[in-house]
Structure formats: structure tokens, C-alpha cells
Amino acid sequence: MTNAPEEQGGTGKYYVVYVCMLVISAIELFVAYHRPSGGQLLGTLLILAFIGAILGILYFMHLASENRNAVIGFAVFTLFVLATINYGWTDSFRLLLGVPYAK
């Protein structure tokens, strides 16, 4: 026999997370119709979207039950991909402007 903690089954936590995500969406809608300044709107909506994304990733993709090294590896890989995307964006301007500095 092992002394490993038993996993509790059930969908209760998923309903709670789902309701929290619905509340976050309602807050986003309320903030958008409240018409704050552009900087406040951008900051508030980005923070709320980040919180909603973290909840979705942790619970609906089951990363909350993974070991810590897997979560850290996933986060590092994601940040690496997002950082390296920046190198490809400048190439897309060639469609609009042609080859830069060509004479």
C-alpha cells in the first residue's frame, strides 16, 4: 500500500472555475461600457484576460494537477515562442513597403 494522497473526483471545481470565468467576462463587459480612458481600458482588460487565461490553462487543460517542473517548462517554452515571434513580424512589412533601404 502506498501513502499517496487520493485524487478526489467530481466536477465541482470545474463549475466554480467556469462561473469565475463568466464573472470575469461580465466584469470585462461592464468595464468596456463604462468607457474609461484608453490606457485604463487596455490595462484593465489585459489583466482580466490574463486571469481568465490562467484559470482556463490551469483547470481546463489540467496543468494545476501536473508537477511543478512540467508547468515551469510549459511556461518557459511559451515565453520563448512569444519572444521569438517578434523576429518574424518585421519581415511582414516587406509586403507593404518593399525591401527596406533598397535604392
d(CA 58, CA 5): 20
Domain count, the chain: 1
Q: How many helices (H) and strands (E) does the chain have?
A: 4, 0
The answer to whether residue 59 is domain-embedded is: yes
Domain of 42 in residue numbering reads as: 12-90
The answer to whether residue 28 is domain-embedded is: yes
How high is the pLDDT of residue 103? 54
pLDDT, one tens digit per residue, over 9-46 is 578 888 998 999 999 999 999 998 988 888 888 999 99
The answer to whether residue 1 is domain-embedded is: no
The answer to whether residue 43 is domain-embedded is: yes
d(CA 59, CA 17): 7
The answer to whether residue 99 is domain-embedded is: no
